[in-house]
Structure 1
Amino acid sequence: MSSHASFARYDFAGRVAVVTGAATGIGRAICDAFALNGASVVNWDRVPGDLDAPHAPRHFAVDITRPASIEAALAATLDAYGRIDYLVNNAGFAGPTMPLDQYDPLEWQRVIDVNLLGTYHVSRFVVPVMRRANSGRIVNVASLAGKEGTPNASAYSAAKAGVIAMTKSLGKELAQTGILVNGIAPAAVETSLLAQMAPAHVQTMIDKSPLGRLGTTQEVAQLALWLCSDSCSFSTGAIFDLSGGRATY
């Protein structure tokens, strides 16, 4: 894996990025990358994460399944910064791994509520702010599961497939507004989540990868930054594969 020194550099000075679920993992890596390139970064999450870390983002408490908390965080963000240039809908969770017919219906609903409806709720509050500015970038973090369907992850696969379709729909809706909407579909990425899985399960994921490794949070962050940069100008409603060669389409 290449060092930070070889990553592309962007000038995001004066720009404001909101990242949901950025206490840790992919969301925090995206925040760090934005901050390193000059943006003001805000974490909308239930918890702040490590506030003593370098480039720690400003935190506003948000539960993306509770619209009132999103509305409050939006007001606080606009009060502090006056604008939102970039929204990265990253918050989500995988839910339990089990066959569909053994899945608890309430748990299935919770996975949909967070991953799909949460992304919808955050977007519906932020889009009007971007419309008024006639510019903005929305990046939705989907998953390879949403493209291909992961066995024993029916709720997560269905939710992320929904995020992919919503990304395509919203990208078309906003195509004439100066707002671009794109998605990222990562395969397995090396985060603390994987530490909770059996090593054999993680090895299975690695074995499925033509590149023979997991993705890194920095690699997801670099794609998110490109999608928000002026280098990306003719892609909207698109889903960008980040799977180490695993994706078949």
Structure 2
Amino acid sequence: MSSIQTQFLDLTAHNARYDAIDPNTTLKGSAEGKIVFIAGASKGIGQATAIAFAEAGVKAVYLTARTATALIETLALVQKANPNTQCAYAVCDVTDAAQVEAAVNDCVAKFGAIDVADANAGYLGPWVKIGESDPNGWWRNWEVNVKGSYHVIRFALPHLIKSAEKWAAEGKSGGHLILISSIGAQFVMPGASDYQTSKHAINRLCEFVQSDHDEDGIKCFAVHPGGVATDLGHSMPEHMHEYLVDDPNLAASFAVWLCSSAGDWAKGRYLSANWDVGELGAMESEIVQDDLLVNRLRVRS
């Protein structure tokens, strides 16, 4: 078996929403009473995630992105999906700590809590070799993908901890944190040093969140959302576009599934939205016992 094959689970792959993770059927009502904060919610996967949580009966969704007009469009789609879901938004650049903190505080002021935080904002610049790269452009990937995710983590965590305590007292699960990773985190592809190393860092950051806050009831996941034909996806070289075959509703519904408590056992790990959740769940004992789906140095025994 090649080194690439050993980094992925051999599970049935899905490209679109399916029954086990459908917020309109199987997961209907699973998000009732919860408040969801989404960074990068103006379009694509973030927008689909906001709608999916509304379909699952979430109490409120708080949306952030850099463009007000796009956020207003997402807000309208959320309210169409579920008129009972409250919704608010803030223009916010995740690379600015003060803006993220203000948005988190506004969410709590409006809705009283944050039960789920989704760090969905991302960036992918041109693929060029390191020796030909623009220093500012190279670092921009880290500014958005890692620093931006850190800001969401840092300011949402105190509220997620309170959420975990509250829902645990009711015999339920709260305090969920989703970090958007990428299958690219597991590859070394020429020209992708900025993006792929930033996503590899997201996987380890997820592990650190879990290590630091597992006793607080936090459930953190680093999620590959699939190959989605978003603006970011189309920033990849053209020959890679053939892999952009996944519907944004796949990752959105997978996020709802994770936050329903069904995936709590997989906290602190890298997961792919493409993986069949039934087959994934059947591997729970093996994954936990052998500490799989985490970043580790492979050496000979």
Scaled by the length of structure 2, what TM-score is found?
A: 0.72
Partner of 2:282: none
Structure 1 residues 126 and 161, CA, compared in 2 at 3 Å: closer, same or farther?
A: same
- Asked whether 1:218 is paired with 2:241, we answer no
Report how many residues are paired.
Answer: 238
Instruction: Report the equivalent of 1:99.
Output: 129
Q: Which residue of 2 aligns with 1:236?
A: 267
* 5+ residue gaps, structure 1: 207-213
Paired letter, 1:221: A
C-alpha distance in 2 between matches for 1:67 and 1:195: 28
Maintained 8 Å contact 1:188/1:243: no
Which stretch has the larger CA shift, 233-242 or 18-27?
Answer: 233-242
* Map of 2:178 onto structure 1: 139
Letter paired with 1:79: A
Q: Counterpart of 1:45 in structure 2: which amino acid?
A: A
Q: Which of 1 and 2 has higher RCO (CA within 8 Å, sep 6+)? A: 2
* 2:139 aligned residue (97, 109, 120): 109
The verdict on how the C-alpha distance between 1:151 and 1:192 changes in structure 2, with shifts beyond 3 A counting, is: same
Contact kept? 1:19, 1:87, Cα under 8 Å: yes
Q: What's the CA shift for 1:20?
A: 0.8
Q: Provide the residue aligned with 2:148 in structure 1.
A: 118
Q: CA deviation at 1:5?
A: 7.2
- Check conservation: 2:41, 2:71, Cα contact below 8 A: no
Contact 2:16/2:247 (8 A) holds in 1 = no
Task: State the one-letter code of the partner of 2:72.
Answer: L
The CA deviation at 1:244 is 7.3
For 1:41, which of 53, 61, 70 is the aligned residue? 61
Task: Give the counterpart of 1:167 among 206, 219, 233.
Answer: 206
Does 2:176 match 1:155?
Answer: no
Q: Return 5+ residue gaps in structure 2 as ranges.
A: 1-14, 80-86, 166-173, 277-292, 294-301
The amino acid across from 1:241 in the alignment is S
How far apart, CA to CA, are the structure 2 residues paired with 1:118 and 1:126? Answer: 12
Alpha-carbon distance in 2 for matches of 1:50, 1:175: 33
Cα displacement (A) at 1:196: 6.3
Q: TM-score, normalised by structure 1?
A: 0.86
Relative to structure 1, is the Cα distance of residues 126 and 78 closer, same or farther in structure 2, using a 3 angstrom cutoff? same
1:37-92 deviation digits (Å, cap 9, x = unpaired): 11111112111315244215521111111011011111211110010000011101
Are the aligned partners of 1:86 and 1:136 in contact in 2 as well (CA < 8 Å)? yes
Distance apart, 1:236 and its partner CA: 1.1
User: Which of the two has greater helix per residue?
Assistant: 2
> 5 Å matches for 1:9-28?
9-11=27-29, 12-28=31-47
